[in-house]
Amino acid sequence: MLPIRWMPPESILYRKFTNESDIWSFVWCSGRSFTYGKQPWYQLSNTEAIECITQGRELERPRTCPSEVYAIMQSCWHREPQQRQPIKEIHSRLQALVKTPPVYLDILG
């Protein structure tokens, strides 16, 4: 059993695991905090989830996810591994977000 819902296309199709595939998975795992722990593609079967991933579909931005964080996520979902944002750049962007004044979301409304 593999955690296919968190895996990039190259890992699903070719069992290729690299730093770039780790970045893809990191972003998916990080995104769970904005969906209250739901797994990616939770409404789909494993076969349907694989199809979405390998076709390059992206999950929609969760309502509680700031657009700046979602932009980071999107920069890591490129189909081509070399186009994904390096972890050092992700770290820098997250550090910058931490230093900005907080934006409060109405998660109950």
CATH number of the CATH domain containing 40: 1.10.510.10
Domain count of the chain? 1
* pLDDT score for 31: 81
pTM listed for this prediction: 0.82
Q: At 20, give phi and psi (nearest 5°).
A: -70, -35
Q: Is residue 109 part of a domain?
A: no
pLDDT in tens, 15-72: 999 999 999 998 888 888 888 888 899 999 999 999 999 999 998 998 888 899 999 9
Give the CA dihedral 66, 67, 71, 76, nearest 10 degrees. 40
Alpha helices (runs of H) in 4-105, residue ranges in sequence order: 9-14, 19-31, 46-54, 67-75, 87-99
Position 101 scores a pLDDT of 80
Contact call for residues 60 and 78 (beta carbons, < 8 A)? no
Round to whole Å and give the CA distance between 72 and 54: 20
Q: What is the mean pLDDT of residues 60-89?
A: 92
The pLDDT of residue 108? 67
Confidence band for 107, pLDDT divided at 50, 70 and 90:
low
Res 103 pLDDT > 90: no
The whole domain housing 63 covers 4-99
Q: Is residue 74 one of the residues assigned to a domain?
A: yes
**Cα gap 13→50, rounded to integer Å:** 9
Is 107 a member of any domain?
no
Do residues 105 and 64 touch, judged by C-beta distance below 8 A? yes
